[in-house]
Structure 1
Amino acid sequence: MRSQQRRTPGGVCYELTRKRVKNLNLRIRADGNTAVSAPSFVPVAEIDAFVDSRAEWISRAKRKILERKAQDLVPCTVSPQEALELFEAVSREIFPLFADVLQNQPPLLKVRDMKSRWGVCCPAKRRITLALRLAEKPRRAVEYVVLHEYAHFLQLNHSPAFWAVVERFMPDYRERRALLKS
């Protein structure tokens, strides 16, 4: 059983889908529209109140989506080649910290135009891929991302042990990570 309707309680416009779910689920789609899925037994007034109670969060989430879309329209000021040169220079500085683990073989660095990540490490292929737009960030932020990806050669996940590795080599990583948001 699945039914859909558009609702606008308290000024928040959303698409309500009734389906076989246990809870109310609220999400902001990539196009900026708000969607709620709800079980058939939940009264519409309760769903409207739920959405209304999350109005501030919805507004912030939509603003972030619009900012991200606007940012994607602005061309990158750095070429892939310039970005790779920067990333290789930073990697040469960080590699000695991990040389033993990597048997003195630096990983392959790649540059991609990624939308949702600053970097990706693939230990099995000994490869680190970094976002092109990372090259537009301050060098201290670039150093943090490169070290973060190197740390994945020691810890594959983001467990407390992973963050301990990052902090051991870069005690100010939190401040550097904050630079990525500016």
Structure 2
Amino acid sequence: MSEHIQLGDIRVEVQRKKNKHAHLYVYPPDGRVHISAPLHMGLDALRAFAISRLSWIKAQQRQMLAQPRETEREYLNRESHQVWGRRYLLEVIEVDAAPVVELKHSTLVLRVRPGSDEARREALLDAWYRQQLRAKLPALLDKWQAAMGVNVRRILVQRMKTRWGGCNPRTGNIRLNTELPKKPPECLEYILVHELLHLVEPTHNARFLALMDKFMPQWRQIKDELNRLPVRHEEWGHSVT
């Protein structure tokens, strides 16, 4: 049975896991609040924990609700698209040949077969963005795995609605959001460093923050930049998981 805590008009979802400590998350786009709680921790203790972080929760929710949204994409000529933080205008060329996506000066060229619909164009560009992300990873992994003394087992590039990345310290797997190739390159590096560091320290405790400061002293500025940039247009609902 699902559990929750009500703090005024804020509903805090509770999920039981084999954690040693409780972890609090505020998820975009609408500031949904979630606690990953140890099996033994009672709701009264979890309520006290949530109340102690209430000002932080509200600050995170205000920031998320204020973050701008991209307009809905239709994949038409002259539409604006971002690649590594730079603006490009889409040029759709219909040609009876294999699809190709390429950058030319300030233009993002999409060559598609005649009659390709919006869904097909979106799928082709999504696949291209994934390729751009994966092309950046080898150099970044060589740099940061050596610096941290860690080895990631597998990196999964996925569309994610609620976070930029994720790490499972038990399996050694890291997930990265397919939206990252639209942001400045330092944003991808920051997210990768953050997730790699969870292989050293699974929680966002004082040690984790100190290590982030050690490896990437400017990480807070990059995080703020990422949080100010427009996020993907979605039909967001309150049941995002």
- TM-score, structure 2 as length reference: 0.45
Tell me by how many angstroms 1:166 deviates. 0.8
Cα deviation code 1:11-39 (max 9, x no counterpart): xxxxxxxxxx9763257xx998xxxxxxx
Tell me by how many angstroms 1:131 deviates. 0.3
Alpha carbons of structure 1 residues 135 and 25: separation in structure 2 relative to 1, 3 Å:
same
Structure number with the higher helix fraction is: 1
Q: How far apart, CA to CA, are the structure 2 residues paired with 1:158 and 1:128?
A: 16
- TM-score, structure 1 as length reference: 0.58
2:202 matched to 1:168? no
Report the structure number with the largest CA radius of gyration. 1
Tell me by how many angstroms 1:136 deviates. 1.4
Q: How far apart, CA to CA, are the structure 2 residues paired with 1:59 and 1:156?
A: 27
Tell me by how many angstroms 1:179 deviates. 2.2
SS in 1 for 2:161: coil
Letter of the structure 1 residue corresponding to residue 183 of structure 2: K
Q: How far apart, CA to CA, are the structure 2 residues paired with 1:121 and 1:149?
A: 5
Runs of 4+ aligned residues of structure 1 deviating over 2 Å after TM superposition are: 21-24, 58-64, 73-79
Aligned residue pairs total 127
Asked if the contact 1:83–1:132 (Cα under 8 Å) also holds between the matched residues in 2, the reply is yes
Which structure's relative contact order is higher, taking Cα pairs within 8 Å and 6+ residues apart?
2
Cα deviation code 1:140-177 (max 9, x no counterpart): 11111111011101111111111111111111111121
Letter of the structure 2 residue corresponding to residue 25 of structure 1: D
Q: How far apart, CA to CA, are the structure 1 residues paired with 2:29 and 2:154?
A: 35
Asked if the contact 2:144–2:193 (Cα under 8 Å) also holds between the matched residues in 1, the reply is yes
Letter of the structure 2 residue corresponding to residue 177 of structure 1: K
2:74 matched to 1:24? no
Alpha carbons of structure 1 residues 169 and 114: separation in structure 2 relative to 1, 3 Å:
same
Asked if the contact 1:84–1:109 (Cα under 8 Å) also holds between the matched residues in 2, the reply is no
2:148 matched to 1:98? yes
2:133 matched to 1:83? yes
Percent same amino acid among aligned pairs?
A: 24
Identify the residue that residue 36 of structure 1 maps to in structure 2: none
Asked if the contact 2:129–2:181 (Cα under 8 Å) also holds between the matched residues in 1, the reply is no
Asked if the contact 1:107–1:127 (Cα under 8 Å) also holds between the matched residues in 2, the reply is yes
List alignment gaps of at least 5 residues for structure 1: 1-20, 33-57
SS in 1 for 2:156: strand
Structure number with the higher strand fraction is: 2
Give 1:124's match in structure 2, choosing from 170, 184, 191: 170
CA RMSD across the alignment: 3.2
